[in-house]
Amino acid sequence: AQLPARAKALFTKVGYSREDLAAAEELARRATELEPDSAAAWGALAAVHGTFLQRGWETDEKRRGEIQR
């Protein structure tokens, strides 16, 4: 439960950077691996992906396809 909360804290703070978002993605991804049935973990990962898209920081086709899945 701590990993999703730490991930959200990284990209909901004022002035977060792309590096913060990448770190949040890693934390959220680990959370989904450790607890594949955790709604909080999947929600954090979805929020990270949505933020990447919203900010226009997503340029990798592989990641874009993963987000759409």
Q: How many CA atoms lie within 13 A of 7 on its CB side?
A: 25
2 CB-near residues (< 8 Å, 6+ apart): none
Is the pLDDT at 63 greater than 90, yes or no? no
- The CA-atom distances, in angstroms, between 46 and each of 15, 21, 32, 35 are 20, 12, 11, 15
Nearest to 10 by CA among 26, 32, 34, 31: 26
Nearest to 47 by CA among 27, 25, 31: 25
Written as one letter, the residue type at 36 is P
| pTM of structure | 0.80
pLDDT tens digits for range 8-23: 999 888 899 999 999 9
